[in-house]
Amino acid sequence: MAEFYTPMVRAELTGDGNTLTGYAAVYDEVAETTNEGWAEKIARGAFDEVLADPATDARAVFNHSMTNILGRQSAGTLKLRSDEVGLHYDITLPRTTFAEDLKEMVRRGDVTGASFAFAAGEMKRGTSPAGRMMVTHTKIARLIDISVVPLPVYAGATVALRGQDPAAAALARRAQMIQIRARARAKG
């Protein structure tokens, strides 16, 4: 039976104001806190084979809920690519009240992240820099979704809305990182 994981990264709303873009995974970044209780990272090129597979038809959703579809590969409203940074995505948002609400939540900084769900393929086990058990995914067997989420685990990308004041966006990102660090210190 396949194991499903949902590591997270931040996202960015750009383009014509109706395109969400960012990185759902950043290669070689260690997430010390995962839902599964161990550290995790994604190796460079882990998505290459699954993205080349014509059967791959990932969905873009909100908070991993298939009731909140934002885009789909086969419809051309979700575009995915692997580059030197990680798994990059562009979602052309639907003209729905939910998408408008989501854009406002991203603009305000309430929703700050992205994630993905996948079936693990090949992986290596080791130890993280913090001394925890760590899994490095070297090959993703199946990509299920790209998800916009309010609580990212990975801190590898930033959030901004095109047309948003860059200074205000930078200040919001800084405040967010301070909160993440404070939560990490509180956990010990």
129-147 residue pLDDT tens: 888 899 999 999 999 999 8
SS3 181: helix
Residue range 63-78, pLDDT digits in tens = 889 999 999 999 999 9
Q: Which of 46, 48, 5, 39 is nearest to 147 (CA)?
A: 5
Number of domains in the chain: 1
Residue range 77-111, pLDDT digits in tens = 999 999 998 898 889 999 999 999 998 888 888 88
pTM of the model: 0.77
- Domain enclosing residue 144, as ranges: 4-187
Q: Tell me the sheet residues that pair with 113.
A: 10, 149
String of DSSP letters for 23-52 = EEEETT--BS--TTSSEEEE-TTTTHHHHH
